[in-house]
């Protein structure tokens, strides 16, 4: 009897690739081909997220040797969006990057977490690792530009955001940030010009227009 119970317990502890996890992986591949990781998260209901996280929990046990960096990364995303737990999210991201240090998305996520905690030097290290992993990706350059702006290192921030815009000139928030940098530097005409570009982007938001209007009013007061 005891031997049977022991075997039953060991079987329960084995990683399980469930149908829900297979469904998540297939759905994720389709959705991320059509849009961003964030848009995929936005497409999930809370109940779906709960089901998928439970499936990952069954798979990511006892350092499952078959687990991939993507498995840890996507569980961190579900945690971040639906079940906030920074400690668990960070642990999953570190497990992911240990398996795949060339994955820029993981470094960027770690950078964003460091920014949220105002750990600026750590954030820079993570974004720089992301730049090294994929220098043609917009987001680590953008992230490092934000950190430099927070630290009032406007020349460095401007260099980074210029690279980000060169990589992805269609994204409104690249111009938004550069406009904010120019505003901090006292170059209001350039700031307004960048926000004019930002509001024309397909990725512009109502906040983009509000920021543009605010800078225009500021520019007019100074002229």
pLDDT tens digits, 57-99? 999 988 889 999 999 999 999 999 999 999 999 999 999 999 9
User: Domain ranges in the chain?
Assistant: 11-100
pLDDT tens digits, 147-193? 999 999 999 999 999 999 999 999 899 999 999 999 999 999 999 99
Residue 193 neighbours by CB distance under 10 Å = 16
pLDDT band at 140 (very low <50, low <70, confident <90, very high): very high
- Least confidently predicted of 3-12, 41-50, 110-119: 3-12
Contact 52, 20 (CB under 8 A): yes
DSSP string, 105-149: HHHHHHHHHHHHTT-HHHHHHHHHHHHHH-TT-HHHHHHHHHHHH
The pTM (predicted TM-score) of the whole model is 0.87
What is the DSSP code (8-state) at residue 171? Answer: -
pLDDT band at 223 (very low <50, low <70, confident <90, very high): confident
Contacts of 197 (CB under 8 A, 6+ apart): 175
How much is the pLDDT for 4?
52
* Alpha-carbon distances of 136 from 112, 152, 168, rounded to whole Å: 18, 25, 9
pLDDT of 210 > 90? The answer is: yes
């Amino acid at each position: 009897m005891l031997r049977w119970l022991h075997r039953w317990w060991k079987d329960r502890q084995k990683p399980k690739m469930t149908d829900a996890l297979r469904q998540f992986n297939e759905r994720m591949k389709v959705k991320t081909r059509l849009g961003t990781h964030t848009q995929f998260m936005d497409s999930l209901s809370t109940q779906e997220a709960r089901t998928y996280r439970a499936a990952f929990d069954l798979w990511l046990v006892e350092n499952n040797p078959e687990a991939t960096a993507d498995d840890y990364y996507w569980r961190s995303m579900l945690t971040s969006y639906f079940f906030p737990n920074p400690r668990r999210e960070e642990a999953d991201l570190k497990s992911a990057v240990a398996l795949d240090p060339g994955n820029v998305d993981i470094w960027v996520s770690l950078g964003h977490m460091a920014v949220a905690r105002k750990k600026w030097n750590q954030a820079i290290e993570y974004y720089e690792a992301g730049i090294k992993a994929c220098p043609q990706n917009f987001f680590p350059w953008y992230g490092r530009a934000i950190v430099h702006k927070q630290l009032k290192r406007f020349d460095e921030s401007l260099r980074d955001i210029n690279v980000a815009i060169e990589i992805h000139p269609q994204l409104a928030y690249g111009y938004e940030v550069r406009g904010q940098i120019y505003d901090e530097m006292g170059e209001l005409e350039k700031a307004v010009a960048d926000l004019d570009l930002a509001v024309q982007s397909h990725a512009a938001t109502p906040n983009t227009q509000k920021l543009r209007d605010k800078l225009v009013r500021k520019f007019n007061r100074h002229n």
